[in-house]
Amino acid sequence: MAEPCIFCDIVGGKYGTKFLYEDEACVAFADVKPMAPTHILVVPREHHPRLQAAAEEEKLLGRLMSVAAKVVKDRDFRVVVNDGADAGQTVYHLHVHVLSGRHFGWPPG
Ligand code: 5GP
Ligand code: ZN
């Protein structure tokens, strides 16, 4: 049996999460612990544990970026993928963070 996965559950509608965007490949919803005034997660419907494991999925990865740009419309924003423990990944279902509504420093922490 597959490992339990919180994002698979959310994508499957288990908690009635409000989707800000959805299509046949991915959904977008607000992060439960926002790090900026706007903090949206773009999540593929299919379970891939991390970016490194989905490197061949060019079409899907392109879609995630495209949706990231669409959900924030014309505002300045930052896109983040935490890939692996040292990069800060905590949920092992591929996702793109889309952050906006404040200034972001560089380099990142
Ligand atoms: P990561 O640390 O893996 O890059 O990002 C995981 C993100 O998922 C975190 O920003 C965390 O706040 C968010 N998150 C974890 N569990 C849930 C949940 O049940 N619902 C929502 N909306 N976001 C979640
Ligand atoms: Zn999953």
Per residue in 39-61, pLDDT (tens digit) is 999 999 999 999 999 999 999 99
The answer to whether residue 109 is domain-embedded is no
* Distance in angstroms (rounded) separating the CA atoms of residues 64 and 105: 23
Q: Which helix (H) or strand (E) segment is 9 a member of?
A: helix 6-11
CATH number (domain holding residue 50): 3.30.428.10
Confirm if 14 and 71 have CB atoms less than 8 A apart: no
Average pLDDT taken over every residue of the chain: 96
pLDDT per residue as tens digits for the range 60-101: 999 999 999 999 987 899 999 999 999 999 999 999 999 999
Domain with 88, as residue range(s), is 6-100
The answer to whether residue 107 is domain-embedded is no
**Residue among 42, 90, 38 nearest 62 (CA):** 42
Q: What is the pTM of this model?
A: 0.97
Q: Percentage of the chain with pLDDT > 70?
A: 98
- Taking the CA of 88 as reference, the closest ligand is 1
From residue 82, alpha-carbon distances to 1, 22, 74, 94 in Å are 26, 22, 24, 9
Q: Which of 39, 93, 95, 103 is catalytic?
A: 95
Enter the DSSP assignment of 30: E
Counted domains in the chain: 1
